[in-house]
């Protein structure tokens, strides 16, 4: 196991999540893509902590912040999904085009 191996895993997860976030139409599927991208940050943060400065807890703190970010993203994402679904039965991004004009 090396830093490069961990970072390659993180990059692969980031790329998969980016594909999902860009290509999916369903709001919840986009959130799944975003979660995969945050997961990449978790892997990279832990790897940097262990392979670069294990004596300092900074890398662990980054991981904790990323985990919290994931929870916040999901809670707010679902709240917005519920609100937008209530207002106009919208569950796909292409249908939410009120601000286009």
Partner 1 sequence: MAEAVIFWVCAAGAVATGVAVFRVDSMARATFALLASFVFAATPLLLLGLSYLGVLVILMMIMEMVVMAIFMIMLMMNPAGLMPMSMVHNRRGSLAIAVGTFVVLGAGVLLVDWPQRAGTPPEDVTFALGEALMGSHMLVMLVIGLGLFATIVSAVVLAHPRGRYDRFGDDLRGRPADDPIRGGVGR
Residues that bind partner 1 (CB under 8 A): 1, 3-9, 11-20, 22-26, 28-29, 32-33, 35-36, 39, 42-43, 46-47, 49-58, 60-61, 63-65, 67-68, 70-72, 74-76, 78-83, 85-86, 91-92, 94
Task: Taking each helix axis as running N to C, give the angle between helix 27-51 and helix 3-23, from 0 to 180 degrees, rounded to the nearest 10.
Answer: 170
Query: Minimum CB separation from partner 1 for residue 101, in Å?
Result: 20
Single out the residue of 53, 46, 60 nearest to residue 10, CA to CA.
46
What's the token pair of residue 17? Answer: 């999540």
Query: Minimum CB separation from partner 1 for residue 47, in Å?
Result: 7
Q: Are 44 and 63 in contact (CB under 8 A)?
A: no
61/98 with CB nearer partner 1? 61
């Amino acid at each position: 196991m090396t830093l490069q191996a961990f970072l390659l895993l993180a990059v692969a997860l980031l790329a998969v999540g980016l594909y999902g976030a860009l290509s999916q139409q369903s709001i919840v599927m986009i959130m799944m893509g975003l979660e995969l991208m945050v997961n990449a940050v978790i892997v990279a943060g832990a790897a940097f902590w262990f392979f670069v400065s294990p004596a300092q807890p900074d890398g662990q703190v980054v991981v904790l912040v990323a985990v919290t970010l994931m929870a916040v993203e999901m809670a707010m994402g679902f709240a917005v999904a519920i609100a937008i679904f209530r207002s106009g039965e919208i569950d796909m991004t292409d249908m939410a085009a009120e601000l286009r004009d």
